[in-house]
């Protein structure tokens, strides 16, 4: 089934999790058009991040939970700037370290540390499931967060297990800086240069609509959707599309709401709708 997307241009809206999706599409022969939806910046106020580093250094954490590799790299960047990196890494060596998927584990290895456990699924729910099996009563737990996510359920669950949660948010997203990418993607869809747009979370739909409105391109976006196959990973994304008066053309069957089933559904739909001949 290799190269079953050969000859098709697939637009993906890049968030942190899209690199694997892009790789899978490329393996099937697709020409992947990537649209970064935000740029990453250091935390606007570094003081809380520095204070967190100093607390973790002066009184080493019992446990450290890393949600993203970007988060640890931003923390280390500030620690180096303040001359705290050596003591900070030494302090973390004695902590149990847990990661949300493999990327934070890679960032740990970059500073000579290893995770004791990582989630099977790189999701917040996966972190909650992993940590829910542990006795956290009375333990000081450092939690690295990431932007544009409500972490209340995770923090609440850890606190309910008896952990003393010390959270840090070391970076921010700048969505406006990426608006030009989105406007270009909208232009490409409207001009018929995109065969399918693959949507993997409802935030992508909202971001498209918001950027289109901000730049007077809402009509062009809808025109682009009219001539582009719209692939949704599941009901949450399809519901968001419907809320904006937009359709879903393709979605995985049998509640298989994952990237590979989405790719299979797209391949079948594109082969029926847009034969490769002459493409």
| Sheet of strand 196-199: strand arrangement | 31-36, 9-14, 196-199, 229-232
- Supply the pLDDT for residue 89: 98
- DSSP string for residues in 120-169: SSSSHHHHHHHHHTS--TT-EEEEE--SSS--HHHHHHHHHTT-EEEEE-
- Supply the pLDDT for residue 202: 83
List own/partner pairs for 230-235 with CB under 8 A and 24 or more apart. 230/196, 230/197, 230/199, 231/196, 231/197, 231/198, 231/199, 231/262, 231/265, 231/266, 231/269, 232/199, 232/262, 233/198, 233/199, 233/200, 233/201, 233/257, 233/258, 233/259, 233/262
Residues 6+ apart with CB under 8 A from 189: 11, 197, 221, 223, 224, 225, 227, 228
Q: pLDDT tens, position by position, for the chain (279 residues)?
A: 456 888 899 999 876 556 778 888 999 999 999 998 877 889 999 999 999 999 999 999 999 999 999 999 999 999 999 999 999 999 999 999 999 988 899 999 999 999 999 998 778 899 999 999 999 999 999 999 998 778 999 999 999 999 999 999 999 988 777 888 899 999 999 999 999 999 988 888 988 999 999 999 999 999 999 999 999 988 889 999 999 999 999 999 876 667 888 999 999 999 887 664 444
Q: Length of the chain, please? A: 279
- Residue ranges and CATH numbers for the domains of the chain are 9-38+175-273 (3.40.50.10090), 41-173 (3.40.50.10090)
Alpha-carbon distance 44 to 172, whole Å?
7
- Supply the pLDDT for residue 2: 58
- Supply the pLDDT for residue 278: 40
Contact 118, 102 (CB under 8 A): yes
- Supply the pLDDT for residue 259: 82
Question: In terms of Cα–Cα distance, which of 196, 193, 141, 189 is closest to 164?
Answer: 141
């Amino acid at each position: 089934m290799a190269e079953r997307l050969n000859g098709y241009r697939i637009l993906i809206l890049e968030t942190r999790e899209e690199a694997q999706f892009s790789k899978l599409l490329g393996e099937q022969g697709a020409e992947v058009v990537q649209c970064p939806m935000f740029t990453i910046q250091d935390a606007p106020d570094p003081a809380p991040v520095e204070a967190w580093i100093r607390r973790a250094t002066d009184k080493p954490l019992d446990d450290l939970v890393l949600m993203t590799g970007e988060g640890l790299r931003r923390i280390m960047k500030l620690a180096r700037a303040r001359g705290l990196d050596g003591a900070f890494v030494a302090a973390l060596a004695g902590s149990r370290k847990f990661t949300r998927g493999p990327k934070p584990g890679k960032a740990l290895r970059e500073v000579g540390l290893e995770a004791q456990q990582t989630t099977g699924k790189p999701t917040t729910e996966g972190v909650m499931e992993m940590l829910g099996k542990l006795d956290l009563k009375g333990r000081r737990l450092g939690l690295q967060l990431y932007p544009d996510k409500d972490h209340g359920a995770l923090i609440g669950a850890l606190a309910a297990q008896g952990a003393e949660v010390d959270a840090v948010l070391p970076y921010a997203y700048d969505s406006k800086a990426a608006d030009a990418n989105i406007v270009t993607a909208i232009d490409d869809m409207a001009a018929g240069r995109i065969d399918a747009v693959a949507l993997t979370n409802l935030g992508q739909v909202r971001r498209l609509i918001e950027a289109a409105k901000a730049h007077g391109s809402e009509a062009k976006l809808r025109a682009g959707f009219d001539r582009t196959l719209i692939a949704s990973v599941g009901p949450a994304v399809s519901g968001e599309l419907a809320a904006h008066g937009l359709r879903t053309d393709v979605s995985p069957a049998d509640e298989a709401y994952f990237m590979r089933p989405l790719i299979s559904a797209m391949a079948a739909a594109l082969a029926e709708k847009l034969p490769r001949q002459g493409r």
